[in-house]
Structure 1
């Protein structure tokens, strides 16, 4: 699903430090008050426009998208881009049946485009590449200090990451990220979709115990969603008529 890279190349980046720069005008105390009130927040214009535009280009044109999928009774699977291209049509259909069947029964299921940034970094898929550099910035002092200041979780010490692409047919059903053994304190979604329409799905939704949607965040360009773990949430189904463009970087900030 990666596009033609002729118009853009990573080698054109003059300074890798420009790959991640927080917006210096953010009102952190005001953001902290909102987070304390709701346990979640959408921070708009979180990065400089130059940084956000560059990251969008990298995700759209330079990322070798694989596929992540799973459902109840099926261990999560992650196909790298080359393996995904080699999948027979019959196997693609089986995957659709597995995840669709699980979701149809009301079980947890997911299907979306993925580049697992932490795995790629640890296994050196593309050493020194822009997504490796981005992961380092996510774990650098400015970002971790910002997360601690907004959320109040002073024990946060690191973050993981995956690049995600919700294309037509993709979704993530309701779950709460409650894996305390892994030290997850704050979940995040750095959205880089542009000109997204409400009818195209892909919204981050929050649910109460009665199944009502109590909040929904549009995948708005250059916004950072953060919320306390555990918290029941989902990503709404992207319909067949939606464009390929719901790009994001997602993960958790952890205390160990």
Structure 2
């Protein structure tokens, strides 16, 4: 890409053949050091310092909600407590639930929230040939034509319940998580992307490594583990789906 700031430059040393073999065997793969070090640092800085974080949450039949940053900042304490009670009730039972910080990058791009800014540039680069061709090659899915994106922040108390992303009719083919969190994320801080079999056992878990791209075929049962209150850093990522329509 041209310009002063590098945001999505791919690591030129990626072994696409080995990555494709791993994906074909399991339907999922984690590509470590996917970007150049400079690009990864710049994306992390964009998320950590330049993103107006809203809030996404869902508790059973209540939701989903995507609250913009201004709305979140204005939430009175009693409403925050009400959301937490609903989440606790849903998560302690059998209902689907989640809560995490979010910034809807594609929606913001289309609505021109901050035209020409780094988030808009990232959306364009995600849909450009270098990354699209990498994902097509690794997943063996040449029919992919576009990708959506949201920035996500999993801080203390955040989680995402088990689900399978069964939206094939909407063109979802490959889900992704581009992790840009702390460079040394510890296992006890939670936030793992876990995959489950039909018996509810974890069959694989991806640590939220800095500069790592997780790709997995959908539908597939997965969740993001609870981030405990003592976690000192946030799990920053860009997430979404590569689509064939």
Alpha-carbon deviation of 1:14?
Answer: 5.3
**Would you say 1:119 and 2:98 are equivalent positions?**
no
**Would you say 1:81 and 2:83 are equivalent positions?**
no
The 10-residue stretch of structure 1 (69-78 or 134-143) with the greater mean CA deviation from structure 2: 69-78
**Would you say 1:221 and 2:210 are equivalent positions?**
yes
Aligned partner (choices 225, 231, 243) of residue 236 of structure 1: 225
- Distance (Å, rounded) in 2 between the aligned partners of 1:124 and 1:92: 29
Aligned pairs for 1:143-154 within 5 A:
143-154=131-142
* TM-score with structure 1 setting the length: 0.93
Aligned partner (choices 200, 209, 217) of residue 211 of structure 1: 200
- Distance (Å, rounded) in 2 between the aligned partners of 1:92 and 1:229: 33
RMSD of aligned Cα (Å): 1.1
> Deviations 1:108-138 (Å, cap 9, x if unpaired)?
1000000110111111110111011001000
Alpha-carbon deviation of 1:244?
Answer: 3.2
Contact 1:166 1:244 in 2 (8 A): no
- Distance (Å, rounded) in 2 between the aligned partners of 1:26 and 1:145: 13
> Deviations 1:9-65 (Å, cap 9, x if unpaired)?
xxxx9524x211000010101100000000000000000000000100111111111
Alpha-carbon deviation of 1:71?
Answer: 2.1
Q: Secondary structure at the match of 1:128?
A: coil
* TM-score with structure 2 setting the length: 0.97
Count residues in correspondence. 243
The 10-residue stretch of structure 1 (40-49 or 192-201) with the greater mean CA deviation from structure 2: 192-201
Which blocks of at least 5 consecutive residues in structure 1 are unaligned? 1-12
